[in-house]
């Protein structure tokens, strides 16, 4: 009888790249991280080729707390459903919602210069009411409900609106804190980590926010052997991005995105 040769299958790690601001919609130019755009990537990464692990190459300054929660919850559901561990590798920045996503992983690794943390909530806008007055422009707004126009940038800021906004932020902030504590547990330092402060590289390791300084390929090789196969899954660029075209809506979208990145000097 001929002996059947058994070929050893090299271990597979599927790599998902998540890069960009976290927002409900990719808008005209695409590129934002949200559950609609990221979900299919994650589904394929956990299902295809029976991976030993899923690695997330993460680079995000944050954005929508709801979309951060949805993506993070999907990562955890898939990890538990397929019994596949998740490793996050933070690049330039994993802050605010970006750090929320990192916490969905079982282990988090950073570069020596990665910016990590910003566990807080921010709301930023402008006030244009004086400009309208100088230009002789009258704005007419009619609402049913006295608080429907809360924080209108074309009206003077009202103390009661600020108080109401802070109450909303407090709830969201507490949700963020609960998520981090549930994922990082006893790894966290006893210091107050929830003030919105950020840490760099090894300092984030010392604070317990991440597990070590390491890059994706060497770490996966260390854990799964030199024959490990890395399969890449990335976000698709829109037609307009591929053609190098843009639009006014994309221009304003990019300006908004730049605000998030610029908070960290990027």
> Out of 96, 114, 118, 253, which one is annotated catalytic?
96
8 A C-beta contact, residue 82 and residue 52: no
Q: How many Cα atoms sit within 13 Å of 170 on the Cβ side? A: 6
8 A C-beta contact, residue 152 and residue 72: no
Residue 49 annotated in active site: no
Q: Are strands 115-117 and 53-60 parallel, antiparallel or unpaired?
A: unpaired
d(CA 249, CA 244): 15
d(CA 125, CA 147): 18
Angle, helices 65-82 vs 159-184, to 10°: value is 20
Q: How far is CA 195 from CA 74, 90, 114, in A?
A: 27, 21, 19
- What are the residues facing 139 on neighbouring strands? none
d(CA 189, CA 238): 42
Catalytic residues: 96
């Amino acid at each position: 009888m001929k002996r059947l040769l058994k070929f050893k299958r090299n271990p597979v790690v599927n790599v998902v790249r998540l890069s960009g601001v976290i927002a409900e919609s990719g808008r005209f130019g695409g590129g934002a991280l949200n559950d609609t755009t990221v979900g299919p990537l994650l589904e394929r990464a956990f299902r295809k080729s029976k991976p030993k692990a899923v690695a997330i190459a993460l680079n995000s300054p944050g954005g929508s707390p709801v979309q951060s929660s949805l993506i993070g919850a999907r990562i955890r559901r898939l990890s538990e459903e397929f019994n596949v561990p998740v490793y996050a590798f933070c690049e330039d920045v994993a802050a605010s919602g970006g750090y929320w996503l990192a916490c969905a992983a079982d282990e988090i690794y950073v570069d020596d210069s990665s910016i990590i943390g910003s566990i807080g909530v921010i709301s930023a806008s402008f006030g244009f009411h004086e400009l309208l007055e100088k230009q002789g422009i009258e704005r007419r707004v009619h609402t049913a409900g006295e608080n429907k126009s809360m924080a209108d940038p074309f009206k003077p800021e009202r103390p009661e609106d600020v108080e109401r906004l802070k109450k909303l932020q407090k709830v969201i902030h507490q949700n963020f804190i609960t998520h981090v504590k549930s994922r990082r547990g006893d790894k966290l330092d006893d210091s107050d980590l929830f003030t919105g402060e950020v840490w760099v590289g090894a300092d984030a390791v010392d604070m317990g926010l991440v597990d070590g300084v390491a890059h994706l390929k060497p770490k996966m090789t260390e854990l799964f052997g030199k024959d490990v196969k890395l399969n890449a899954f990335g976000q698709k660029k829109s037609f307009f991005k591929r053609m190098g075209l843009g639009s006014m809506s994309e221009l304003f979208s990019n300006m908004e995105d730049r605000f998030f990145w610029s908070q960290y000097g990027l």
